[in-house]
């Protein structure tokens, strides 16, 4: 009896509020709707990055989160770490800047509100290379040649991105001109090879979920030795996600960190020949 009255009361409330409830509406359908909308406002997503002991690395290298996520960096190392966003700023890059210090054995938090990419590095174990706009591993870093940098990918829509973008390979260097590119889906991304040597596009394997959501294949870009002026290739990305790619001629894959690592023969070692394409849905 009591249950039936509650049901009738909530039905009346819903009828007054909504005004358009059909006669088939029952208590079993109205109850879950109310409870989920009430709890959704209270959930704060959380995620974490670890600084493992004596490695000078951030784990994972790429962390994907939803907007408003509180990210915790847990320092399991025996020394303090200071890390900061790179100077790279754009409509999708480092929209919130931060500079954080975390003592040995402690943790620190930062809340990411804005969708986009956040690229940060440890100011003691790595440096910002202004020539190439890349984070470089310090010679004394314990993870060398892997740099102590990390990416926080805050998923969500970003307005005003192009659907076609041109990247290139620098003449005389084993390096893509831009490390980070963003475009809206379906995105047409081209690379022109200004170098003499051949280079490649291939995705870094074994990343979960929305990182490299589809395999765009292995693509060779002939250099000016093979094709006068160098070759241009174009790849269409119609699935939103973050694409992490490298050149298999100048990098190897480190299975532990799942990162592409420069080979010593690469012209700008220890900088890896890697790039990221953020493909955003509409
Ligand atoms: Cu290459």
CATH number for the domain including 85? 2.60.40.420
Residue 225 belongs to a domain: yes
Residue 159 belongs to a domain: no
Distance 93 CA to ligand 1 centre (A): 25
Q: Are residues 145 and 130 in the same domain?
A: yes
Q: How many CA atoms lie within 13 A of 277 on its CB side?
A: 36
The pTM assigned to this predicted structure is 0.84
Residue 114 belongs to a domain: yes
Q: Could you say which of 132, 154, 176 is where a domain stops?
A: 154
Distance 106 CA to ligand 1 centre (A): 40
Q: Could you say which of 136, 154, 172 is where a domain stops?
A: 154
Please give the pLDDT value at position 41: 61
Distance 231 CA to ligand 1 centre (A): 13
Q: Are residues 271 and 172 in the same domain?
A: yes
* pLDDT tens digits along 249-264: 999 999 999 999 999 9
Distance 69 CA to ligand 1 centre (A): 36
Q: Are residues 17 and 64 in the same domain?
A: no
Q: Are residues 114 and 21 in the same domain?
A: no
Q: Are residues 111 and 97 in the same domain?
A: yes
Q: Are residues 222 and 263 in the same domain?
A: yes
Distance 73 CA to ligand 1 centre (A): 33
Q: Are residues 57 and 33 in the same domain?
A: no
Residue 196 belongs to a domain: yes
Please give the pLDDT value at position 43: 85
Distance 167 CA to ligand 1 centre (A): 14
Please give the pLDDT value at position 4: 39
Distance 117 CA to ligand 1 centre (A): 24
Distance 222 CA to ligand 1 centre (A): 10
Distance 64 CA to ligand 1 centre (A): 27
Q: Could you say which of 130, 154, 178 is where a domain stops?
A: 154
Contact between residue 141 and residue 148 where contact means Cβ atoms under 8 Å apart: yes
Query: Exposed/middle/buried for 29, CB within 10 Å: 0-12, 13-18, 19+?
Result: exposed
Distance 176 CA to ligand 1 centre (A): 8
Distance 201 CA to ligand 1 centre (A): 8
Please give the pLDDT value at position 40: 52
Q: Are residues 143 and 73 in the same domain?
A: yes
Domain count, the chain: 3
Q: Which domain holds residue 32?
A: 2-40
Please tell me the distance from the alpha carbon of residue 274 to that of residue 222, in angstroms, as a whole number: 17
pLDDT, mean of each 10-residue run, the chain (282 residues):
40 38 34 42 89 98 97 98 97 97 98 97 98 97 97 96 96 97 97 97 94 96 96 97 97 97 97 98 88
Q: Are residues 106 and 196 in the same domain?
A: no
Distance 42 CA to ligand 1 centre (A): 48
Q: Look at residues 248, 243, 275 and name the one whose alpha carbon lies nearest to residue 262.
A: 248
Distance 200 CA to ligand 1 centre (A): 6
Residue 180 belongs to a domain: yes
Q: Are residues 274 and 175 in the same domain?
A: yes
Distance 82 CA to ligand 1 centre (A): 32
Q: Could you tell me which residues come within 8 angstroms of residue 34 by beta carbon, excluding any fewer than 6 positions away? A: 10
Residue 234 belongs to a domain: yes
Q: Are residues 104 and 78 in the same domain?
A: yes
Q: Are residues 177 and 269 in the same domain?
A: yes
Distance 132 CA to ligand 1 centre (A): 15
Tell me the sheet residues that pair with 59: 50
């Amino acid at each position: 009896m009591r249950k039936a009255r509650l049901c009738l009361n909530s039905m009346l409330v819903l009828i007054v509020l909504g005004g358009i409830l059909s006669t088939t509406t029952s208590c079993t359908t109205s109850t879950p709707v109310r409870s989920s909308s009430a709890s959704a406002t209270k959930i704060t997503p959380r995620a974490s990055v670890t600084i493992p002991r004596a490695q000078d690395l951030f784990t994972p290298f790429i962390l994907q989160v939803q907007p408003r996520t509180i990210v915790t960096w847990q320092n399991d190392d025996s020394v303090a770490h200071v890390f900061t966003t790179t100077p790279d700023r754009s409509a999708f890059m480092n929209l919130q800047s931060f500079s954080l210090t975390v003592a040995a054995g402690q943790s620190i938090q930062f809340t990411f509100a804005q969708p986009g990419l956040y690229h940060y590095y440890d100011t003691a174990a790595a440096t910002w290379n202004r020539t190439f706009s890349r984070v470089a591993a310090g010679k004394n870093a314990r993870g060398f040649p892997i740099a102590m940098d990390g990416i926080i990918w805050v998923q969500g829509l970003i307005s005003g991105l192009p659907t076609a973008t041109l990247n290139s390979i620098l003449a005389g260097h084993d390096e893509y001109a831009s490390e980070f590119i963003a475009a809206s889906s379906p995105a047409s991304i081209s690379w022109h090879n200004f170098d003499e040597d051949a280079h490649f596009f291939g995705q870094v394997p074994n990343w979960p979920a929305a990182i490299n959501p589809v395999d765009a294949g292995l693509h060779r870009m002939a250099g000016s030795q093979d094709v006068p002026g160098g070759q241009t290739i174009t790849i269409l990305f119609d699935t939103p996600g973050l694409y992490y790619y490298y050149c298999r001629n100048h990098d190897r894959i480190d299975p532990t960190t799942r990162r592409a690592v420069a080979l010593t023969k690469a012209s700008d070692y220890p900088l890896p020949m890697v790039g990221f394409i953020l493909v955003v849905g509409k």
